[in-house]
Amino acid sequence: MIATNDAALIADRAFEADREGWLHPAQQALIHERGWLRMLAPRAAGGLEMALPDVVRLEESIARVDGSMGWTVTLCAGAGWFAGFLAPRLAREILATPDVCLAGSGAPTGVAEREGEGWRITGLWDYASGAPMATHFTFNAVLREHGAALLDAAGQPRIQAFVVPAALVEMVPRWRSIGLRATASHAYRVSGQWVHAEHGFAIDPSKAVEQGPLYRFPFMAFAFVTLAANVAGMAHHFVDLAEECIAHRRNRFSGQDEPLIEVPAVRALLDATRASLDAVRARFYARLDATWAQVAAGAPVSEDEAAQMQALAMAWVNASRRAVDALFPYCGLYAMREDAPINRVWRDFHTASQHALLVPHASTGQIATQPL
């Protein structure tokens, strides 16, 4: 859980950060002082290598204070996790960077042309949360040689992940979302830059360089649980603020001019909403703790077990959607004020929940598995 004084600092600067479209300098300083962007990186490279359930609970608790702060920490710390899949020398070099921050995108919207002992990279990627403070960027690119795509065993274009220093990257400032404004999730471009082959890596437990349990945890399950905790954290924050709004409203159409929160149906809705969120949250963490213990003991996670973890993450996200949508109509016009905390949380929640991993597939209703 986040410390009380840290939560207060984040909350105090949240409005200003949202207005300015980037985390306040005090928030950025706190992120680096606490080492939050190193918490998933291997100890051997200079990271903290924290247990995943502890990281997820921390990320949830930050998101319950401010969505933009939680989202930025989660996405950039998640990119730091990739250090466990890099050549040890390169990982140490990256983690030794002052105020290191990795940002990036999983979309394969670039190409890497083989050239000598490395690759010449060109591409444009959207949505790199934390881009203004990134010291390095990660991305996926389609591999080519002599202008033709290299193919995998199934005859499909090969896609590889890369990490490059920010000096090779041009930020394209076009983040215009209504929510998560302070994540500054801008696009970025690489224009014909060459990098050594060691800057490429595979996100696969079987190819991890570090052998701690963090790097043997299935990637898709890892992505789902960290994102879901953020969305749910924002939803829990919204419910708290919604109850405050409802407590200050009057039910003037009942003939009794009673406090809205004392209307039995409204009180029951609030209680049921909290109970539903708490119940799925408990199931989520019970599964996460058990899966982590399994990996920490050296056992692999089967595809079915990973799917169960992802399904519980989506159950928490869906319960969060229901909670926010059910309570918002009772919050009044105050909740529509752009400077109201509940409005910011509502905007952040609906922006975060549009992440590609968290949107049900349009044709099948199943959870999507493509990266953003």
Over residues 249-291, the pLDDT tens digits come to 988 766 677 889 999 999 999 999 999 999 999 999 999 999 9
Phi, psi of 353 (to 5 degrees): -75, -5
CA atoms of 39 and 54, how far apart (whole Å): 10
Look at residue 372 in the predicted model and tell me its pLDDT: 32
CB 291 within 8 A of CB 221: yes
From 71, 95, 119, give the residue that closes a domain: 95
- My answer on whether 264 and 325 are in the same domain is yes
- My answer on whether 248 and 198 are in the same domain is no
pLDDT in tens, 200-227: 999 998 899 999 999 999 999 999 999 9
- 286: which 2 tokens? 């019970």
Q: Is residue 365 part of a domain?
A: no
* 232-255 average pLDDT score: 90
CATH number at residue 140: 2.40.110.10
pLDDT in tens, 150-205: 999 999 999 999 999 999 999 999 999 999 999 999 999 999 999 999 999 999 98
- 20: which 2 tokens? 């300015």
DSSP per residue, 120-187: EEEEEEEEETTGGG-SEEEEEEEEEETTEE-B-TTSPBPEEEEEEEGGG-EEE-----SSSGGG--EE
CA atoms of 318 and 315, how far apart (whole Å): 5
- My answer on whether 195 and 295 are in the same domain is no
Q: If pLDDT is split at 50, 70 and 90, which confidence band does 295 have?
A: very high
CATH number at residue 233: 1.20.140.10
Q: Is a pLDDT exceeding 50 seen at residue 117? A: yes
- My answer on whether 142 and 237 are in the same domain is no
Q: Is a pLDDT exceeding 60 seen at residue 134? A: yes
Q: If pLDDT is split at 50, 70 and 90, which confidence band does 338 have?
A: very high
Q: Is residue 364 part of a domain?
A: no
- My answer on whether 337 and 302 are in the same domain is yes
pLDDT in tens, 8-63: 999 999 999 999 999 999 999 999 999 999 999 999 999 999 999 999 999 999 99
* 340-368 average pLDDT score: 80
CA atoms of 338 and 261, how far apart (whole Å): 24
Q: Is a pLDDT exceeding 80 seen at residue 325? A: yes
Contacts of 115 (CB under 8 A, 6+ apart): 194
- My answer on whether 110 and 186 are in the same domain is yes
Look at residue 254 in the predicted model and tell me its pLDDT: 61
Q: Is residue 372 part of a domain?
A: no
- My answer on whether 137 and 261 are in the same domain is no
Q: Is residue 152 part of a domain?
A: yes
Q: Is residue 108 part of a domain?
A: yes
Which domain does 341 fall in, by range? Answer: 217-358
Q: Is residue 19 part of a domain?
A: yes
Q: Is residue 277 part of a domain?
A: yes
Nearest to 72 by CA among 352, 358, 370, 363: 352
Q: What single-letter DSSP state applies at residue 251?
A: E
221, 232, 233, 344, 345 from 337: Cα distances, Å:
37, 23, 22, 9, 12
β-bridge partners, 144: 113, 149
Split into its structural domains, the chain has a count of 3
For all residues of the chain together, what is the average pLDDT? 94
pTM above the 0.85 mark? yes
Give the CA count within 13 Å in the CB-facing half-sphere of 115: 13
